[in-house]
């Protein structure tokens, strides 16, 4: 049981819903089928509704869509504690691919097990649906960022969001966080060219706002970044009508 209390997903959910022993046990059950995947090789997820989802426990993943012309757009990143393909279990989902950015560990969750857990522990269901709606809010915010923010603000916003998400699972704070992404990942996610990502990072660094180097993000002026990005984290925690 110790393992589960330390699992990133448990940490994340606990931040928003107080989980009882029963619910922790249900979470434990979901974590049974451990699997691992190596970096770079796609875990192709065709979006068939009967398929399994994964709970990412270690490592980073990105979900992306390939264009006919060869470019790709990264739709979202998954960090420890995040679901992978959750929507393809709840709903059917669009065709995008999943690529592990580093070697990862994840728990495979069968649809039936998930529905079982939902039926038996409604509070857990609520918590997980909260996580799903939060993921969706992030995609929308991502859309807004690409459509209406310039490159600097976009980058700042992205790093702040990532920081907030990682903070929830104890992997970062207002000082910074470990980040295995390459500048190409950033480019594909933010709708920029890799060259311009580099320029933007340099500028943010020279302004004393944030440093991205050697797989580590360091915030030097958190408030300054927030201002530049017009970052408003409410879409991330949604501290509204949640279970107390």
Partner DNA sequence: CGGCCATTTGACACCTGTCAATGTCTGTGG
Partner DNA sequence: CCACAGACATTGACAGGTGTCAAATGGCCG
Instruction: Please state, in angstroms and rounded to a whole number, the distance separating the CA atoms of residues 13 and 140.
Output: 21
Asked if 63 contacts 76 with a C-beta cutoff of 8 angstroms, the reply is: yes
Residue whose CB is less far from DNA, 54 or 212 = 212
The SS3 assignment for 175 reads: coil
CB of 152 to DNA, least distance (A): 6
Q: Is 97 exposed, middle or buried (0-12, 13-18, 19+ CB in 10 A)?
A: middle
Residue ranges in 182-221 that form contacts with DNA under rule CB under 7 A: 182-184, 191-196, 198-202, 213
What does 108-176 look like in DSSP terms, one character per residue? Answer: EE-HHHHHHHHHH-HHHHHHHHHHHHHHHHHHHHHHHHHHHS-HHHHHHHHHHHHHHHHHHTTSB-SSE
Q: Is the dihedral of CA 154, 157, 160, 166 positive or negative?
A: negative
Instruction: Please state, in angstroms and rounded to a whole number, the distance separating the CA atoms of residues 138 and 1.
Output: 31
Residue 157 partner contact from a copy of itself, DNA, none using kind-dependent CB cut-offs of 5 to 8 Å: none
Residue whose CB is less far from DNA, 14 or 198 = 198
Residue whose CB is less far from a copy of itself, 138 or 171 = 138
83's tokens: 């679901």
CB of 123 to a copy of itself, least distance (A): 14
Residue 233 partner contact from DNA, a copy of itself, none using kind-dependent CB cut-offs of 5 to 8 Å: none
Query: What does the binding site for a copy of itself look like in residue numbers (CB under 8 A)?
Result: 47-50, 65, 67-69, 71-73, 75, 87, 90-96, 129-130, 132-133, 136-137, 139-144, 146-149, 190-191, 230, 232, 234-235, 238, 240-241
Residue 240 partner contact from DNA, a copy of itself, none using kind-dependent CB cut-offs of 5 to 8 Å: a copy of itself
CB of 147 to DNA, least distance (A): 9
CB of 67 to DNA, least distance (A): 12
DSSP character for 172? B
Residue whose CB is less far from DNA, 107 or 200 = 200
Residues that bind DNA (rule: CB under 7 A) add up to a total of 18
Residue 137 partner contact from DNA, a copy of itself, none using kind-dependent CB cut-offs of 5 to 8 Å: a copy of itself
Please, which residues bridge with residue 218 across strands? 176, 211
Q: Is 100 exposed, middle or buried (0-12, 13-18, 19+ CB in 10 A)?
A: buried
Position 152 contacts DNA (CB under 7 A): yes
Binding site for DNA (CB under 7 A): 150-152, 182-184, 191-196, 198-202, 213
């Amino acid at each position: 049981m110790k393992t589960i209390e330390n699992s990133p997903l448990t940490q994340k959910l606990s931040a928003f819903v107080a989980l009882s022993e029963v619910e922790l046990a249900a979470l434990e059950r979901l974590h049974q089928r451990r699997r691992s995947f190596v970096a770079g090789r796609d875990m192709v997820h065709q979006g068939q509704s009967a398929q399994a989802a994964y709970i990412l426990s270690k490592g980073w993943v990105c979900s992306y869509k390939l264009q006919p012309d060869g470019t790709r757009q990264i739709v979202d990143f998954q960090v420890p504690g995040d679901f992978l393909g959750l929507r393809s279990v709840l709903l059917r989902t669009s065709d995008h691919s999943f690529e592990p950015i580093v070697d990862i560990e994840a728990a495979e969750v069968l649809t039936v097990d998930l529905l079982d857990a939902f039926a038996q522990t409604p509070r857990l269901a609520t918590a997980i649906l909260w996580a799903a709606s939060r993921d969706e809010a992030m995609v929308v915010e991502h859309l807004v960022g690409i459509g209406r923010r310039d490159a600097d603000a976009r980058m700042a916003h992205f790093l702040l969001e990532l920081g907030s998400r990682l903070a929830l699972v104890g992997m970062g704070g207002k000082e910074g966080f470990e980040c295995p992404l390459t500048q190409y990942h950033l480019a594909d996610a933010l709708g920029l060219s890799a060259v311009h990502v580099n320029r933007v990072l340099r500028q943010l660094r020279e302004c004393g706002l944030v440093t991205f180097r050697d797989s580590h993000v360091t915030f030097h002026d958190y408030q300054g970044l927030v201002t530049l990005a017009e970052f408003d984290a409410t879409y991330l925690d949604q501290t509204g009508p949640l279970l107390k």
